[in-house]
């Protein structure tokens, strides 16, 4: 029996992710709101561009959209067949995952929240990390399809846990970004050579993914290439803070960081890379990180 895999949402991530599926599955459906993009994908990667209704016939359905709200809209338009597994790679909201899982359960459809990290380069190289919440049996069934696109495929807990880990990961990344920007602004103000300081810090306990990548590749070289939009990071930090409020936790740094990322998102054009959050500090301190 052949497994049919479908992919909904061919954005910067989805387009590249779905490209790997035809190498491993005979039948791969793709759909995109702007349908021309689905047709282009079909032509380029031997997937099949199908109407949304036909997506419902697939065994495993991936979705990768900007927000949980947009996934909800799609879910209201189609009803997957019993036994199907819906794998949502959106950076979504844990509460939405639980509601979606419950709703699909009545049709005997499993819902996995399975956000990914690794950015467009990881999507291209099939080296993404999948952090997955939801039913473990469904996870094992859907794993081969995820493995076609990723490297680390990790079940992290019940429904919503995948989204929670992603939101917290991105919040931590945002805190590291603010930390690096504040630290390097301080060094710049005191006349320290930033490239040499970065060498030291990347070899020391202050190292982070941000100091390793964002600082040299996006900020200090002033390129700020758009691969992950700042408003999406602002949304992720809000999801993280929502988790904090639901559990009545004390997390002062997260709250403050959310405020700063929000301020940066307010200041920058909507299509700015997340790394431009550094420019909020640059304008406040009148110091340019270069």
| 266 lines the binding site for its own copies (CB under 8 A) | yes
| 175 lines the binding site for its own copies (CB under 8 A) | yes
| 168 lines the binding site for its own copies (CB under 8 A) | yes
| Among 228, 103, 84, CA closest to 170 | 228
- Token digits for 112? 């996995």
Contact window for its own copies (CB under 8 A) among 28-36, 52-60, 102-110, 154-162: 154-162
The distance of closest approach from Cβ of residue 190 to its own copies in the complex, given in angstroms and rounded to an integer, is 5
From candidates 24, 103, 143, 158, binder to its own copies by CB under 8 A: 158
Q: Determine the distance from the C-alpha atom of residue 88 to the mean position of all C-alpha atoms in its chain, rounded to a whole number.
A: 11
> How many other β-carbons are positioned within 10 Å of the β-carbon of residue 254?
20
188 an active-site residue?
A: no
From candidates 85, 240, 277, 289, binder to its own copies by CB under 8 A: 240
| 121 lines the binding site for its own copies (CB under 8 A) | no
From candidates 11, 144, 216, 255, binder to its own copies by CB under 8 A: 255
Footprint of its own copies on 68-87 (CB under 8 A): none
203-226 as b/e, with b when 16 or more CB fall inside 10 Å? eeeeebebbeebbeebbbeeebee
Contact window for its own copies (CB under 8 A) among 70-78, 101-109, 136-144, 203-211: 203-211
| 138 lines the binding site for its own copies (CB under 8 A) | no
Considering the candidates 166, 188, 248, 288, report the single residue annotated as catalytic.
166
**Backbone angle region of 116, left / alpha / beta, with phi > 0 → left and psi within -120 to 50 → alpha:** beta
Give how far Cα 139 sits from Cα of 11, 71, 92, 159, Å: 24, 19, 18, 11
Using only C-alpha atoms, the chain has a radius of gyration, in whole angstroms, of: 20
The distance of closest approach from Cβ of residue 257 to its own copies in the complex, given in angstroms and rounded to an integer, is 7
Which residues are marked as active site?
A: 166
């Amino acid at each position: 029996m052949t497994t049919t895999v479908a992919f909904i949402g061919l954005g910067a991530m989805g387009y590249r992710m779905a490209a790997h599926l035809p190498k491993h599955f005979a039948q791969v459906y793709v759909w995109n709101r702007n349908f021309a993009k689905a047709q282009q994908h079909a032509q380029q990667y031997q997937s099949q561009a199908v109407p949304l209704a036909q997506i419902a016939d697939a065994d495993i359905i991936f979705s990768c959209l900007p927000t949980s709200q947009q996934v909800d809209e799609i879910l209201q338009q189609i009803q997957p067949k019993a036994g199907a597994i819906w794998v949502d790679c959106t950076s979504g909201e844990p509460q939405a995952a639980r509601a979606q899982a419950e709703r699909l359960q009545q049709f005997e459809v499993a819902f996995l929240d399975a956000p990914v990290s690794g950015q467009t380069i990881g999507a291209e190289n099939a080296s993404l990390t999948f952090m997955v919440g939801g039913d473990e049996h469904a996870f094992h069934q859907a794993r081969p399809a995820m493995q076609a696109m990723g490297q680390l495929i990790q079940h992290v807990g019940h429904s919503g846990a995948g989204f929670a880990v992603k939101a917290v990961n991105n919040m931590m990344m945002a805190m590291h970004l603010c930390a690096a920007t504040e630290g390097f602004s301080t060094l710049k103000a005191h006349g320290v050579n930033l490239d040499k300081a970065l060498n030291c810090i990347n070899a020391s306990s202050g190292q982070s993914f941000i100091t390793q990548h964002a600082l040299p590749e996006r900020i200090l070289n002033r390129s700020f290439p758009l691969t992950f939009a700042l408003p999406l990071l602002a949304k992720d930090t809000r999801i993280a803070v929502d988790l904090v409020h639901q559990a009545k936790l004390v997390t002062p740094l997260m709250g403050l960081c959310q405020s700063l990322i929000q301020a940066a998102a307010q200041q920058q054009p909507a299509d700015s890379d997340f790394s431009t959050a550094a420019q909020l500090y640059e304008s406040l301190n009148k110091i340019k990180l270069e």
